Amino acid sequence: MKRYDTVHKDQINVGGLDFSWNLENGQFEFEGEDAVLFWITSAMKSFFDTLEEVSGKEAAKVVLETTGYRQGLVVGRYFQSLGIPLKEVAAAIPATYASAGWGSIEISELDEQKKTGIVRLKDSWEYKINVAQGKSHTTTFLAGHFSGIFSGLFGSNVWFTEERDQISDGDYGEFRYGPSDITIEENIHDLARRSESERILKLEAMVKERTQELTDLVKEISSPIIPVLEGIVVVPLLGKYDENRSEDLLTKTLHNLPKYKADYLVIDLTGLHQYISRFTVEFLGNLASAASLIGTETILVGISPDLAQEITGSDLKLSRFSCFSTLKHGIYYAIGQQGRQIY
Note the pLDDT tens digit of each residue in 48-81: 999 889 888 888 888 888 999 999 999 999 999 9
Identify the pLDDT of residue 150. Answer: 95
Q: Helix (H, G, I), strand (E, B), or coil: what is residue 80?
A: helix
Helix axes 184-221, 243-256, angle to 10 degrees: 40
Tell me if domain 39-182 and domain 222-337 are identical in fold.
no
Fold (topology level) of 222-337: Transcription Regulator spoIIAA (3.30.750)
pLDDT, average across residues 286-312: 83
Identify the pLDDT of residue 275. Answer: 64
Enumerate the domain spans of the chain. 1-37, 39-182, 222-337
Contact 118, 109 (CB under 8 A): yes
Amino acid identity at 253: T
pLDDT category, 181, cuts 50, 70, 90?
confident
Q: Which CATH class is domain 39-182?
A: alpha beta
Q: Helix (H, G, I), strand (E, B), or coil: what is residue 224?
A: coil
pLDDT category, 7, cuts 50, 70, 90?
very low
Q: In this model, does residue 20 exceed pLDDT 70? A: yes
Tell me the HSE value of 137 on the side-chain side, using a 13 A CA sphere: 8
DSSP codes of every residue in 135-196: -SS--SHHHHHHHHHHHHHHTS-EEEEEEE-HHHH-S-EEEEEEE-S--HHHHHHHHHHHHH
Identify the pLDDT of residue 25. Answer: 83
Contact 234, 266 (CB under 8 A): yes
What's the pLDDT tens digit per position in 252-271?
888 889 988 999 999 888 87
Q: In this model, does residue 154 exceed pLDDT 90? A: yes
Rounding to the nearest 10 degrees, give the CA dihedral for residues 101, 104, 108, 113: -20
pLDDT, average across residues 169-175: 93
pLDDT, average across residues 189-216: 67
pLDDT, average across residues 34-42: 88
Q: Are β-strands 33-35 and 104-111 bridged in parallel, bridged antiparallel, or unpaired?
A: unpaired
Identify the pLDDT of residue 203. Answer: 67
